[in-house]
Structure 1
Amino acid sequence: MVTIEQKLLLFSKLLNQSMDKKFNEDFKEIEKQNELRIQKNKEEVDREAKEIEEKAKKKAETKRIESLSKSKVIIKREIIVLKENYYNIFMENFKNKLQEFIKSKIYKTFLEKEILEFQKYIKSSEDCNLIIYLTKKDNDNYSSFLKEEFKKYPKIENISFIIREDILGGLIIEIVDKNVKVDLSIDAILEENKSYIMQTIFEALEAGDYND
């Protein structure tokens, strides 16, 4: 016959076993949940780290592109300045050559061609008066010749001359009645052809043909 004490002892053992089993199961469940949380946190940290790394890469690439773009702009600007300097050096030398041309007999032919070029501005015009701007040297040497040439055109009534020392040579002709100025000066011709002159200079420099 089982006594009460024995029943209590047996119940106590069963309770302990049940508690141990429940504890183990709960502990395993907690471990499992912890592992899942740890894994999730790890994945989240990895994802954030990857995002930070990608952002850093993009930022670095953006800075690299910006830096490269700035460098290209600076280099382009320096090349433009260098080309302008070459052009200015060349033009200083070229202007000396032009002074020789202005002193030559060919220069008179050049002025004749300028008068022919001017014809198109007076073809449809009424009778007109002209003011011719030119250098003092050209006024001294060619004013009489220019008057004779312009008088060949019946529509031109009066011609007057004004000295301009800010031009190399050639003529600036003003049709007084129409308030129109036609710039046929050597300076205007040079400015109009600046791009072509620069291109020719740089092609010569690249080919090694240009000497000061």
Structure 2
Amino acid sequence: MSLSLCVYCGSRLGDSPVFEHAARSLGERLAARGGRLVYGGGRVGLMGIVANAVLRGGGQVVGVIPQALMQREVGHAGLTELHVVQTMHERKQRMAESADAFVALPGGIGTLEELYEVWSWQQLGYHDKPVALLNVDGYYDALLRFMDICHRRGFVSDAQHAALIVDDDVERLLDRVGAAAAKATAPDDYSRI
């Protein structure tokens, strides 16, 4: 199965080259496996790095970007496909519909919002696609501790807590996400969102 992977990540580079290395590695490995990247369509930050790595590896890259961001000239002009949409909601829905799985790399508020949205959509039964975190250099350790508290305090179920795939190794993460995506069987139903 060729994986269509939706990647959420920063439009900035962060404070360490380790984040750039992880984004580049994910893109290279996804392309080497014949996968397709679906992402927010930007040319800057970690978003641009992962997209360029997939393209250099001969893979396909589908970007979805709102018109307002395209006008600010952050859209990537060299993608396999670039869809310019009107709203952020349309962007996120189109990305979700185009992907077999979701992975968050380091990022800020937007990355967290996108991660939690697809994870909550999974919980609500809108899809059964895998949702994962690439925990580069312990970036998400504090967030994962907080999710453990949410689980222990009864606000996140055992099943939903266990559903998030977390790894710090690109190859292992892609293996786990690919295996989980192959098992996903429920049809998407984003019409109720």
TM-score range, shorter chain: under 0.3
Larger strand fraction of residues: 2
Q: Normalising to structure 1: TM-score of the pair?
A: 0.25
Larger radius of gyration: 1
Larger helix fraction of residues: 1
Q: Normalising to structure 2: TM-score of the pair?
A: 0.26
